[in-house]
Amino acid sequence: MATPLPFKIAQTVQQELNAANALFDLLQQESDALGSRDTELLATIIERKNQELVNLAQGANKRFTILTEQKLTHNQQNWMLLLGRCRDEKLLQQWRALEQQIKACKQENETNGKLLARSQRVLAKLTGVLRGQAESNQELYNRKGGHSAAKRNLTYAQA
């Protein structure tokens, strides 16, 4: 016996919503781990994030299959048409919730990317100081209190 279309769609949307919710939670944990520079936790979170991304991709593939079975092209308009055919307000609300959660995941991921980039810049600067490499655009004060662009490398002891 074939699974009814509305049930198939509802099951797919719910699975994607669960994956998006889990991904959002992981992104928030990642933000905290980036702030505390907990590399072990970050490694674990990245593995779990990858699994949730796979789950989301599988959901998208299921939607593609459903649209193909209905002889519809894979686009947002046809998907909304199928959702409308189900005449299930709860299903439409779940779909809207999924769309909102995906947007929230994108925003959180962008924030985490900015945190990571900032951490990399700070680490690069600190590593440069330890190696005795001053930034070329960095201004240092001389003995008379004036400032001039750094033209020489300074070791950690000299800095």
pLDDT per residue rounded down to tens, the chain (159 residues) = 567 889 999 999 999 999 999 999 999 999 999 888 888 999 999 999 999 999 999 999 999 999 999 999 999 999 999 999 988 999 999 999 999 999 999 999 999 999 888 888 888 888 888 877 766 555 566 667 776 655 555 554 554
Integer angstrom CA distances of residue 89 from 4, 7, 62, 63: 17, 13, 21, 19
How far apart (Å, rounded) are the C-alpha atoms in residues 18 and 20?
A: 6
Chain position carrying tokens 């985490």? 112
Helix (H) or strand (E) holding 159: none
